[in-house]
Structures are given as structure tokens and as C-alpha cells.
Amino acid sequence: MTQASAPRIQGLRVRPVRVPMTHPHQTASGTIAESPLVLTDALIDDGTVGHSMVFTYTAAALKPTAELIRNFEALVTGEPLAPAEIAQKLATRFRLLGTQGLVGMALAAIDMALWDALARSHATRLVRLLGGIEKPIPAYGAIGYDGADASARTGEDWAKRGFTGVKAKIGYPTVQEDVAVIRAIRSAVGDNVAVMVDYNQCLTPSEAIQRLRVLDDEGLTWVEEPTLAPDYAGHADPVRGKLVGRARHPACHRRAGFRLRDARCHENRRRDRLDARGDIGACPGHPRIQPPMARNQRAAIVRDAGGSLA
């Protein structure tokens, strides 16, 4: 297919939505009661429509992210449907501004929608288009910042439903409370279920070293986000403290090792492509895998959960 004959991008359709959670999720950083999502459709001149969804963490970032995507529409309209080329073009365009934060989320929304459109235009799955094949992906059940008893009950429920791993939010006032929660979960789920924990970046590097030393004998599969994501120097402290493999940020993976990144959306974009190639299991130290959401579930999310357009 030549550039002249390639399908071209007609525009983007962007919708911010707020979807209430049936069960609000407690974390060390606060309560998450809804999912602020930006739904993006890439409209192609052959009638194809590609879809994507990004989670903005807070409703305060919902409309700004949606507006950024709309502002970027003029940069891709009329371009051939070539996601890799467009991603490179946009990265170059925003080199000075940077591609982290909300800009990165907006670029990721466009990128994923274009890849989805490309697969749809070829009447195939993206995994096949990229040379991979569908295969099962391990998933874990989430446990909120709910204390020992409630966390144990939730973990037990996930195990009864067949999940082979659970991840709990911790970061309680004392490490003894963290340990009590972990042990309660372990007692509830048994020895054959992987237990992971997530601090949501609530510790300083020195606190992380102290707490992770205490947790070292608890049989955890991993400890997620103990320190602030952009604190690169701080990330080195747990390494010097011989805690390699314990204090790692989800966006710290590469196939040949770890590389810290500012924008989590870059992690999501790369994970999608690794997933499509069947290589995601090869990412060292990054088993934080959950099944990708089917594109046709997006409308159902908003409809069934009583979500509203923001």
C-alpha cells in the first residue's frame, strides 16, 4: 500500500466521562470513588473507527486531558493511518514541552486509538497485526486500604473466584500495621496465591528502606511504588540498601533492564505493544499484568455503571 492509497485520519471524537465505582477503592493517598476516563475515537476516511480509553486518576485532570486531545486533532487530521510514524512526529513536536503528565496521556489516547483503527482497517486483531497470537494473561485481584480484617475477606473472595494473585494497598501509620495486613491476607488466601503490595508512593527513600527490610521475610511477590515516581535519586537508595527487586515503580521496566520514565501512559502504550507481540512476560520485574479491556466494553462501562458525560 502506497502513502497515496493508505487510509487517512479524518478527525478525533473525544468524550470525558466519570464512572462511579460500585465499591470505592481506598489507598494510602485517599479514596477513589469514581473512574475519570477519556474515551477517544479515531475517525478514518474508509469508515473505520478506532477506540481508546485513558484513566486520568482524578476528575480535576479529566477535562484538561480531553481538551489536549482535541487540541492535538489538527496535528493528525489528514495524515495517513500510520501509528508509528505519527507517534514519532508527535514526540518530535513536543520535545521541548515534554511528553510526560497530561501531554503524555493525551498522546497515548491518540496512539492507542490509531493502532486500534489500523487493526480494524485490516479486519484483524492488533495482536495478529503485530505478529503475535492471543494467549491468556495472568491477572490479580485488587484489595483496598481497608485494614487487616476487611483486606483478608477481600483477598479470600478473590481466591475463591480463581485468582492466583492479589495486590493490597498498604502504607499504614506503622510498619507493624502493614505486616498485620499482609499476614491476614496470607492466612486468608493460602500459600499458593501470590501476594503483592502497593504503597502508592507514600514513603520517603529512608522510610522505604526501613519498611522493606521488615517486609523482606513476608514472602511478597513484589512491592510497588514505595517512593515518588520522579525521585530518581531516591530510587537508587533501596538499590544501595540491597533491596533490588523490591522498590520498583511500574514504569521502570525495559526488556533489557529497568529504565525510569515520567509518564505512566508510556508504560501503558509499551505494554499494549509487548502484549500484542506476546512478549510481556519477558519484561523483567514487571508482573503487574491485568487483562486488556475489550474495545466494545467501553460503552457498557458508562451505561451499566451509571456513568455520566463530564
For residue range 5-26, list pLDDT tens digits in order.
789 999 999 999 999 988 787 7
Q: Are 18 and 307 in contact (CB under 8 A)?
A: yes
Amino acid at 190: G
Higher-pLDDT residue of 253 and 72 is 72
The predicted pLDDT at position 115 comes to 97
Placement of cell 500510520 in the chain: 82
Q: Please, which residues bridge with residue 16 across strands?
A: 38
User: Mind listing the domains of the chain with CATH numbers?
Assistant: 9-128+296-309 (3.30.390.10), 141-249 (3.20.20.120)
**Please, which contacts does 157-164 make with residues 24 or more away whose CB atoms are closer than 8 Å?**
158/189, 158/193, 159/188, 159/189, 159/190, 159/193, 163/139, 163/193, 164/138, 164/140, 164/192, 164/193, 164/194
How many residues are listed for the chain in this entry?
Answer: 310
Mean pLDDT, all residues of the chain: 80
The predicted pLDDT at position 229 comes to 82
In whole angstroms, what is the distance from residue 60 CA to residue 67 CA? 12
Higher-pLDDT residue of 180 and 275 is 180
pLDDT digits (tens, 9 = 90+) for 94-106: 999 999 899 999 9
pLDDT digits (tens, 9 = 90+) for 157-174: 999 999 999 999 999 999
pTM > 0.85 = no
How distant, in Å, are the alpha carbons of 137, 138, 170 from that of 187?
26, 22, 17
The predicted pLDDT at position 119 comes to 97
pLDDT-based confidence at residue 270 (cuts at 50, 70, 90): very low
pLDDT-based confidence at residue 114 (cuts at 50, 70, 90): very high
